[in-house]
Amino acid sequence: MKKALLFAFVASGLISAQSYADQQTVDQVDLTRYVGTWYEIASIPQTFTKQCVSNTTAEYTSLPSGEIQVINSCDKSDGKRSVAEGHAKIVDTVTNAKLKVTFVKFFDWIYRFGGDYWIVGLEDNYRYAIVGHPTKEYAWILSRDPAMSKEDLLTAYGTLQSNGYDTCKIMTTIQTSGISVSTRLCDYVKGL
């Protein structure tokens, strides 16, 4: 029984490592260009964002410590704004494309409870970014503007597909000056 459990544990580690292998990040991220405000265009819904109904944004600010302050906010159904503060640190200093983000603070930010934040797509002029997670259970399309062009959205969609994401799990995000309905991304792009 113990050998079977050990084999299952080792095998699951090998499967996880293989699934991570097809996840590609961008070659280089200039963090001075990456910081600023991003509008969420689409994402895989998570329990920690269930209160969000529209106008979701992420604001990144470089800190003297080398970390990045993260302010995520969105409109709730009652019209109030939900705000969460966190910090991110670079875990791949060669590309700056892999970060660890935490929203847990106890005297200092605790990255052990943080999540992987991998930049898997980035438009040359930093107009939009595609952020993922090695397990493919998290994904975001972020844009500098609340609305993305059809061409940019289709390119972002293709990047998600080529990285193995189920684009039918990804939901569009309502933005006042952008997409006006929350629907599966795989269905939304059919209408473009």
- In this model, does residue 118 exceed pLDDT 90? yes
Residue 47 resides in a domain? yes
Residue 5 resides in a domain? no
State residue 94's pLDDT score.
96
- In this model, does residue 67 exceed pLDDT 90? yes
Residue 66 resides in a domain? yes
Residue 31 resides in a domain? yes
What DSSP string runs through 138-170?
-EEEEESSSS--HHHHHHHHHHHHHTT--TTS-
Place of tokens 């959205």: 153
- Percent pLDDT > 90 in the chain is 79
Q: What is the DSSP letter of 27?
A: S
- In this model, does residue 106 exceed pLDDT 90? no
Residue 13 resides in a domain? no
Question: Which domain range does residue 135 map to?
Answer: 23-191
Q: State the total domains in the chain.
A: 1
Q: Which residue type does 118 have?
A: W
* pLDDT (mean) for 55-70: 97
Question: What is the Cα–Cα distance from 106 to 87, expressed in whole angstroms?
Answer: 13
State residue 151's pLDDT score.
97
- In this model, does residue 36 exceed pLDDT 80? yes
Residue 4 resides in a domain? no
pLDDT digits 0-9 by tens, 140-190: 999 999 999 999 999 999 999 999 999 999 999 999 999 999 999 999 999
Residue 9 resides in a domain? no
CATH of the domain at 176: 2.40.128.20
> Which pTM does this prediction carry?
0.87
Residue 113 resides in a domain? yes
Question: What is the Cα–Cα distance from 142 to 147, expressed in whole angstroms?
Answer: 10
**pLDDT category, 34, cuts 50, 70, 90?**
very high
Inter-residue contact 130 to 3 (CB < 8 Å): no
Question: What number of other Cβ atoms are within 10 A of residue 138's Cβ?
Answer: 17
